[in-house]
Amino acid sequence: MLSEELFSLGIASICIIVLTLLCTLLRKFKRAMIPNEYQIFIEEFICLFQIVAGIKEGDIVLDSSDIYTYAVYLFVLFASFGVSFEGCGSTCGLWEQLLFRNISVFDCLVASAMQIMGGFLGLSYIKLFWRAIGLGSYHAKMFKHSTEDICNSAMQATLVEGMVAEFVATILFSIYLNGFRGRSFITEKRAPYFDAFVTCVIVIVGMDYTGMMFNPALATALTYNCKGHTLVEHLLVYWLSPLLATLSSCAFFNQYLRDQIMVKERTD
């Protein structure tokens, strides 16, 4: 049993390495071949491709080991995102950029659509990865499920509990990004590891409620059309709640920044 767990972890480690290298090559191609004004769309596509494939591989780690091993896997995975991403990798992040007027409505909509497409392609990629090297029983089981289109909802709570969970997760991460990430002790080199730690904690704490996505494009790729919840419930939990949380967070920080500017003007 132990050897089977270690074997599955080894394959998961290979998955992260191969996935990161593949996405690094795609980003080099993007920088070399894609005009600057379109790079945001390609980058968001790559980001969600990388996230969905990595998170889906994590299901095998969780299935074959304990929650502590899974937490370590998630931390390493999220840290790899932090050091390789050149975009948001989150629909909520795009919404924040729109609300802070850093991107246009058109760019936000197209980038969001590219995220969803990248997420679905990432799901297809990881199934091919399992087929290629799925030598262990856990990978074989996951590949069998994928070929049979077995998809169960990640939401294990009531509709209200699910909406609250995704709202709280989204707003907590937004508060961290906008309120703490820019502090002096979180340097540029340390930031990916702080981001990974905060994300990992939020996911582990709330995973039994909704799978803890707080990223609508990720949730769509992983849970859309799954058994256990309706389309309306999916939209309410995984889209409306993060949207409301993002609006609330941005409204707060906009007011906070205005207050800081007013205080500074008075002191000057």
User: For the chain, give me the number of helices (H) and strands (E)?
Assistant: 11, 0
| Confidence bin at 221 (pLDDT 50/70/90) | very high
The two three-digit tokens of residue 45, written as one number: 């596509």
pLDDT of residue 136: 58
Distance CA 241, CA 162 (A): 9
The two three-digit tokens of residue 203, written as one number: 């996911």
pLDDT of residue 146: 58
The two three-digit tokens of residue 87, written as one number: 């975009």
155-214 per-position pLDDT tens digit: 888 999 999 999 999 999 998 988 888 777 888 888 999 999 999 999 999 998 999 999
Distance CA 117, CA 84 (A): 20
Least confident of 146-150, 166-170, 240-244, 264-268: 264-268
118-154 per-position pLDDT tens digit: 999 999 998 888 777 655 556 666 656 655 566 777 8
Q: Which of these, 2, 8, 3, 268, lies nearest to 138 by C-alpha position?
A: 8
55 pLDDT more than 80: yes
From the CB of residue 220, how many other CB atoms can be counted at a distance below 10 Å?
23
The DSSP secondary structure of 118-175, one letter per residue, reads HHHHHHHHHHHHHHHH--SHHHHHHHHHHHTT--B-S--S-HHHHHHHHHHHHHHHHH
Percent of the chain with pLDDT over 90: 57
19 pLDDT more than 80: yes
208-217 per-position pLDDT tens digit: 899 999 999 9
